[in-house]
Copies of this chain bind each other. A is one copy, B any other.
């Protein structure tokens, strides 16, 4: 038994506190722009308790970030003072408060050491296992400061221009600038740019800083940039260090192939996701840097094929949900509440982590009940004034009940029922409502004449977009005949508006993989993501339309440089290549059993590794041979209609020619 203490807190509050801090960090030129949804905070006073049996006397000291006291067997003690526990049973309770951060404690002791065997309470009736994170094992640690790592990065070029100095760091990064030995009687003005154009457009670049005149040393907050333009000082007037701030993550997934462009795309996707994998999965690193549930949902899947870091997924899920009462949809977006609910069951499928499901289920249920309470008597859910019905940046007919939303609603009902069921108390009402809703979706949204799902039945417009039809194939809302019809009339119909965001490309290309169109997907990845690389991208963008050229490529939201050039949802090739080309996926929760079903998809050869919940599977496929090795039991190799059991650590090799 490891008795090493860790910092403990009210479960979920570490995530909620750091989410709060993250939500208020957006800056654009001269103003801050706090998130436009309610920001929850950790509880400000909590208590912890534990019954301890000491077989020998021990000394215990309570350290805290906050104020409070310790009760041992009813007697009061101060923090930071050694307390002797005699041999025998002791009832320990710690009360702590902090108004400007996360109240947390660290009990330096043996039997009394702080860890999740302690219980935490928010002064409601319920005691829960205390929250902790292995990032904070030392009494000198402060969980109020997120445990990032730092590494110096260096410019690949420094160019003195007439107006200032231009630094090129070679690729997009997220770094804090440190100025030392500054000798300037003027403010030193800093203009950051994801593009060179943005950095040098000193009137419009979104991220700026200034080293105040007379400073000796000045550290800027970390910012997203590749280029930096400095005005007001010569290079001799300061020493500049750029500190890349990042979360150390272990890359397990890999992919290489006979196609160098695709290999570069995979690497760039990995870097893009890594930059956005921080306290939580962010949307992008430049602009809002907020956590968006629909964006994060895709990051969870990509993560499973790259880092398989369960902790960041859990942190993101907890942060997005926040605290009660729920007053609006997550990120104000109807669909984003549903992705949040669905993500929990998806997380379980990947990890079989029942502890987390137990913890989050009450919050999942109340989120589901919030959605149900805002549905209408006909069972459909509609956006109210103030609700954002998003789906995608696309022209969708959003009149009344929207088809894609109803499908997400039904899938969420199913996920909630399933998570309850696996804890032993699934509620039939969710399943019944799900089944009823599925019937109604088919009845109201399927247009037999058009052979496709329409966006809205209330508008009378019978508008078709790819979105609902992609969902219908993804989650089985079409019989075989309808599937064929959707493929022909929508997916392979150029008259239907193309998907223009990497965000929805994720779903579109997944469906194309599902229907066996891998070579189409390979070309799409090469053209769409490769198109960005050919324009010099070092990370993938929020939106990419090959038809848009020049400065317009950087604009979005009415802002000249409004577009994020490092957006997590650009990283989906990692998922697609791991899931459908290397072909590894679970067939029971936690990858207790899994399939390895590789396909070349137009490549001459592919090779790579996929994490499988604590293990990893390496696949190498050419036209002649397949080699697979897994350090986890439970795998089955499926190829050419045959299945072969895969033994742990024993390489599997098949001659295909």
Interface residues of A, Cβ cutoff 8 Å to B: 20-21, 23-24, 28, 30-39, 41, 43-45, 47, 67-70, 76-79, 81, 95-97, 99-101, 122-125, 324-325, 327-328, 332, 384-386
- Of all chain B residues, the one with the shortest Cβ separation from A324 is B325
Q: A41-B44, A44-B41, A78-B30 are in contact. Are A99 and B100 (CB under 8 A)?
A: yes
The CA of A327 and the CA of B45, in the complex, are separated in Å by: 14
Residues of B within 8 A of A24 (CB): 44-45, 67, 97, 99
Q: A41-B41, A325-B325 are in contact. Are A34 and B124 (CB under 8 A)?
A: no
- Of all chain B residues, the one with the shortest Cβ separation from A38 is B123
Are the CB atoms of A34 and B125 closer together than 8 Å?
no
Chain B nearest CB from A420 CB (Å) reads: 21
Are the CB atoms of A95 and B45 closer together than 8 Å?
no
Residues of B within 8 A of A81 (CB): 30
Q: List 14 additional A-B contacts (Cβ < 8 Å) besides A31-B76, A99-B100.
A: A24-B45, A24-B97, A31-B69, A31-B78, A33-B69, A33-B76, A34-B95, A35-B45, A36-B95, A38-B123, A38-B124, A39-B44, A125-B327, A125-B328
Are the CB atoms of A68 and B33 closer together than 8 Å?
yes
A77: which of B31, B34, B41, B125 is its contact (CB, 8 Å)?
B31
A324: which of B41, B68, B123, B324 is its contact (CB, 8 Å)?
B324
Residues of B within 8 A of A324 (CB): 324-325
The CA of A498 and the CA of B37, in the complex, are separated in Å by: 55
- Of all chain B residues, the one with the shortest Cβ separation from A385 is B125
Copies in the complex: 2
Are the CB atoms of B68 and A34 closer together than 8 Å?
yes
Are the CB atoms of A99 and B21 closer together than 8 Å?
yes
Residues of B within 8 A of A38 (CB): 43, 45, 122-124
A123: which of B37, B68, B77, B124 is its contact (CB, 8 Å)?
B37
Q: A34-B68, A69-B32, A79-B31 are in contact. Are A328 and B123 (CB under 8 A)?
A: yes
- Of all chain B residues, the one with the shortest Cβ separation from A42 is B41
The CA of A465 and the CA of B491, in the complex, are separated in Å by: 80
Chain B nearest CB from A122 CB (Å) reads: 6
Residues of B within 8 A of A123 (CB): 36-38, 327-328, 332
Most chain B Cβ neighbours within 10 Å, of A31, A47, A77, A78 = A31
Residues of B within 8 A of A122 (CB): 38, 327
A125: which of B30, B124, B325, B386 is its contact (CB, 8 Å)?
B386
Are the CB atoms of B45 and A328 closer together than 8 Å?
no
Residues of B within 8 A of A77 (CB): 31
Most chain B Cβ neighbours within 10 Å, of A37, A44, A68 = A44
Residues of B within 8 A of A33 (CB): 68-69, 76, 95
The CA of A125 and the CA of B329, in the complex, are separated in Å by: 11
Residues of B within 8 A of A76 (CB): 28, 31, 33
Residues of B within 8 A of A47 (CB): 36
Residues of B within 8 A of A386 (CB): 125
- Of all chain B residues, the one with the shortest Cβ separation from A32 is B67
The CA of A45 and the CA of B20, in the complex, are separated in Å by: 10
